[in-house]
């Protein structure tokens, strides 16, 4: 459950949590075209710090641009809205959700003159998105019967509300079958990503992650690739099959919510030794030190409140 806070930023001003409402005829509610971000602020010795804020705001604007949605605020205004939202709600660490949506006006598939609305919410976030102890112990995963959207049916660079119907189908199927998360293949049958995470595997001391064809361009994914390279690990962006995943030495999901979550089993097949591997735990350690402001090399990834 979301733990409500005091204020939400809506269209340039703060309103009370309970007053942050939309009309039932809001266009995005009916047709699914809205763009959003998931961002985290972490507790550090110097106060709360938002992780890779400007990259998230850039991706929000990129998503809107792809779908010809004009955000009526500048990037700097959205950056400031995020910072102010954390500050006004007195949060030491939290999840932050900027959301751009089409308001009510015309109904139908071409909302030419409908207003574009923007909201930013921030609220406390638990330690594990994928279940209790998932970060430490790892999770069981099921390859979904639902494939990731084809690049010519939906444009994968956009983080769009309606796309997550596909993810919800996969997630519900996996959980119903007793797994923690779904893994989705692309239209050609290669591994794509989780319902809301990117994926990495380790084989023979080298990292592999799926290329940016039918997946979201993850900011945590990018961070892991930079951290890995800086620590002498080879990283390859290349397609791989589910059976290569089965015989990998290690595997993990990455994402703002998932952070770095080890995968210990896929389709009832143990991955490696069936527990978080050495490279996974090393990357976890560096990543969590980074978001806590303990790694000078990556301090520019943090926006301090």
Q: Which residues are catalytic?
A: 159
DSSP 212: S
Give the Cα separation of 298 and 305 in Å (integer). Answer: 17
Q: Which helix (H) or strand (E) holds 82?
A: helix 75-88
Give the Cα separation of 31 and 29 in Å (integer). Answer: 6
Give the Cα separation of 103 and 25 in Å (integer). Answer: 8
Give the Cα separation of 79 and 251 in Å (integer). Answer: 33
Is 286 in contact with 227 (CB distance < 8 Å)?
Answer: yes
Q: Where are the alpha helices (DSSP H) in 129-218?
A: 134-137, 164-176
Residue 19, CA atoms < 13 Å, CB-side half-sphere: 10
């Amino acid at each position: 459950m979301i733990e409500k806070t005091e204020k939400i930023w809506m269209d340039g001003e703060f309103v009370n949590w309970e007053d942050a409402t939309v009309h039932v005829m809001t266009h995005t509610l009916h047709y699914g075209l809205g763009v959003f971000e998931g961002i985290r602020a972490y507790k550090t010795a110097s106060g709360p710090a938002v992780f890779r804020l400007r990259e998230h705001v850039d991706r929000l604007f990129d998503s809107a641009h792809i779908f010809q949605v004009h955000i009526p605020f500048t990037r700097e205004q959205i950056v400031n809205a995020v910072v102010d939202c954390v500050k006004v709600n007195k949060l030491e660490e939290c999840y932050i959700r900027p959301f751009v949506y089409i308001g009510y006006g015309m109904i139908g598939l071409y909302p030419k003159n409908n207003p574009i609305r923007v909201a930013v919410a921030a609220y406390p976030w638990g330690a594990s998105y994928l279940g209790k102890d998932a970060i430490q112990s790892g999770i069981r995963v099921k390859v979904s019967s639902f494939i990731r959207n084809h690049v010519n049916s939906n444009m994968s660079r956009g983080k769009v509300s309606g796309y997550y119907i596909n993810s919800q189908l996969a997630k519900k199927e996996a959980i119903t079958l007793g797994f923690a998360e779904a893994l989705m293949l692309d239209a050609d049958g290669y591994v794509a990503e989780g319902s809301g995470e990117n994926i990495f595997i380790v084989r023979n001391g080298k990292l592999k992650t799926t290329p940016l064809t039918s997946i979201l361009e993850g900011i945590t994914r990018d961070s892991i690739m930079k951290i890995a390279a800086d620590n002498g690990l080879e990283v390859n962006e290349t397609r791989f099959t589910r059976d290569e995943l089965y015989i990998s030495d290690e595997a993990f999901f990455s994402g703002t919510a998932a952070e770095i979550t080890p995968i210990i089993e896929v389709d009832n097949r143990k991955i490696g030794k069936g527990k978080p591997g050495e490279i996974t735990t090393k990357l976890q350690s560096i990543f969590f030190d980074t978001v806590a402001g303990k790694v000078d090399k990556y301090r520019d990834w943090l926006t301090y409140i």
